[in-house]
Structure 1
Amino acid sequence: MNVSSALYMISGCLVTLGLMLGLMPALIDYLHRIKFGQTERGEGLESHKKKNGTPTMGGLAFILVPTLVFLLLSLCTPFKLLDMNTGIILLAYVGYGLIGFIDDYIIVVKKDNEGLKPAVKFAMQSVLAVVFFLLYRSTASTGVWIPILDQTIDLGVWYFFLVFIMFTAETNAVNFTDGVDGLCAGQMVIALVPFLAFAFFQQQANVGFLIGLVICALLGYLVFNLHPAKIFMGDTGSLALGGLIAAVAMVLKQEILLILIGAVFVAEVLSVIIQVTHYKRTKKRIFRMAPLHHHYEKGGWPEEKVVRNFWIAGIVCALLGLWLGVM
């Protein structure tokens, strides 16, 4: 990467951050006026009831702004930013965001708190996972790099099942993490930083630039999402971020490290699976409430403490994943 391309990338990141900081107040005001507000579940935490009416679908901003900046720079500069890898990442980002948008629209506009039926949502997520596998398989191997052992194992046809699990599990894991002000967006910034480093170590500057744009967009969003949140990302944002990080891990061949780097997301979804499975069998709960962040809230932790401690755990996992990825 030469000095000229580096300057373009830094400028793109600064423009993205500036656009987010400038546009978010207008978006919040607009969503307020059209009454696109959050509706807290009746069985949810009492402390969250005051969040009713807070604008949601904020994920639209951090999906559209970095995507448009990336595409405009790709069209208006001599650098060929859009390739197969960045195309797959963008398709995952926007595609899963669209599924989330449909879900949010049904909840907010149609006043149906169930949103998309779980089977329909899973089917849509699955179709996208298959599309990404077919696109990626046409230009890349089915090998998976094993950290520590520094060995690559060719999974052959089994690679499809790994990709399928990555996309469907990660989108739902990130979705479950979005339940406390600032937690999900901040945790995603932390998790994306190691992949940003991997991209440049692998000389995939285009992928690194796209990751950098998303990180800057999320930082701009976080200014308005920290407690007390003025806006929520909704399923629009959380599903998009889950699809994005799964696609990034796939194109950078860091599928295994995704588990470690995204350990907080993994813990959140596992807490739900364990809670539901155990309750169905015994009618008893292991956690005070699932997902995991609500367990700690029920135990008396304020939202800020939950976010701070989860971020610290995320930073530790991200640093360990980064070390394993470059050692």
Structure 2
Amino acid sequence: MSVLFYPTLVALLIVLISGPVLIPILHKMKFGQSIRQEGPKSHQAKTGTPTMGGLMIMIAIVISTCFFAKLNMEVCLALFVMLGHCFIGFLDDYIKVVLKRNLGLKAKQKLFGQIVMALIVTYVGVNYMGMKTDLWIPFSGITFDLGILYYFLVFFVLVGTTNAVNLTDGLDGLAAGTMTIAILAYALICLRFGKTDLAIFCLAVAGATIGFLWFNVHPAKVFMGDTGSLALGGALAAVAILTKTEILLAIVGFVFVIEALSVIIQVISFKTRGKRVFLMSPIHHHFELKGWSETKVVGVFWLVGLICSVAALLILKVS
């Protein structure tokens, strides 16, 4: 089993080695992050910090996975979803940072790409991998055959997870640390189901995000950008779909869920009542404006992520 630590170690080392090379290049090319003016004032000092650091994460994951895992259909699909979302995120970052168009890709353009990926994943999984179109309900032992509606479930999981991770990427080390915890939990889930090569993919993701934290913890020297956050969200969603644990994902990724829900609640409340529920959304900014330090918010959210991941593993064990 010790060999399973190699993908993590190799991915970590690749990021640590590539960081000092890539970060100065991003600086030189002026790939700097713009900061929301209405956000916490302490964040204004982050303006110009290089973004698109997700590229070093992707390079590490691909190399480590290809070296240690058998490239079966499951692993290839996971890589496809991750790199597909990486491409969408890269285009979004490039348009915002390089072409100076603040809105980046239009929502319908992002959705089109995600629809295509959801269709491919579901079609290949069902028709070539024997993946069932059912939904497992934890504790009950019940599964519901969704039939054609399973395509919509896959799309919902992909879009929901990628955007939730993207929203979480707002504080130094928050998204990378929370993703590390969640994907390590899914490595154990994959091993539980005998999906060793998919577990290796998860461990490569964990190694890359741990390595990225070296440069991304407060004060961050580089941000992952949409290039990294959308891709990591895609990787997490893909593994949940391939292990048929879509509902369990909501527990493992509870931090991502509350980040996304806080934005939805804030928008609905403001449009219907003209009032805000939170001082600022996503919710990590609410706690900052309540007086919490950035490192305290990140630490607490990491702890919540860890507790929820352990809870999910215990649920899986007794189900």
Same fold (TM over 0.5): yes
Q: CA offset at residue 198 of structure 1? A: 1.1
The gaps in structure 1 that reach 5 residues or longer are 75-80
Equivalent pair of 2:162/2:229 in contact (CA under 8 Å): yes
Distance 2:167 2:64 in 1: 29
Q: Which stretch of the first structure deviates more once superposed, 216-225 or 154-163?
A: 154-163
Q: Which amino acid aligns with 1:268?
A: E
2:109 to 120, 123, 128: 120
Aligned counterparts, 1:52-201, within 5 A: 52-73=47-68, 81-138=70-127, 139=129, 140-201=131-192
Give the match's secondary structure for 1:179: coil
1:247 to 222, 238, 242: 238
RMSD: 1.3
Q: CA offset at residue 292 of structure 1? A: 0.6
Q: Which amino acid aligns with 2:91?
A: I
Give the match's secondary structure for 1:325: helix
Distance 2:68 2:181 in 1: 25
Q: Which amino acid aligns with 2:19?
A: M
Please name the residue that 1:261 is paired with.
252
Equivalent pair of 2:11/2:63 in contact (CA under 8 Å): no
Distance 2:223 2:241 in 1: 28
Give the match's secondary structure for 1:145: strand
The gaps in structure 2 that reach 5 residues or longer are none
Distance 2:123 2:26 in 1: 37
Q: CA offset at residue 126 of structure 1? A: 2.1
State the number of aligned residues: 316
Structure 1 residues 124-176: Cα deviation after superposition (integer angstroms, max 9, x where no partner):
22222222111212221112221111222222122111111000111111110
Distance 1:294 1:322 in 2: 29
Distance 1:209 1:145 in 2: 24
Give the match's secondary structure for 1:115: coil
Q: CA offset at residue 201 of structure 1? A: 1.3
1:34 to 25, 29, 38: 29
Structure 1 residues 66-117: Cα deviation after superposition (integer angstroms, max 9, x where no partner):
112322445xxxxxx1111111100011000110000000011101111111
Please name the residue that 2:221 is paired with.
230
Please name the residue that 1:43 is paired with.
38
Equivalent pair of 1:58/1:232 in contact (CA under 8 Å): yes
Correspondence 1:294 to 2:289: no
Structure 1 residues 191-219: Cα deviation after superposition (integer angstroms, max 9, x where no partner):
11221111111111100111101100110
Q: Which amino acid aligns with 1:104?
A: D
Please name the residue that 1:271 is paired with.
262
The percent of aligned pairs where both chains have the same amino acid is 45
Q: Which amino acid aligns with 2:161?
A: E
Equivalent pair of 1:129/1:168 in contact (CA under 8 Å): no
Give the match's secondary structure for 2:136: strand
Q: CA offset at residue 294 of structure 1? A: 0.6
Q: Which amino acid aligns with 1:311?
A: W
Distance 2:280 2:237 in 1: 27
Structure 1 residues 171-192: Cα deviation after superposition (integer angstroms, max 9, x where no partner):
1111100000000010001111
Q: CA offset at residue 55 of structure 1? A: 0.5
Please name the residue that 2:11 is paired with.
16
Please name the residue that 1:78 is paired with.
none
Q: Which amino acid aligns with 2:16?
A: L
Q: CA offset at residue 44 of structure 1? A: 2.3
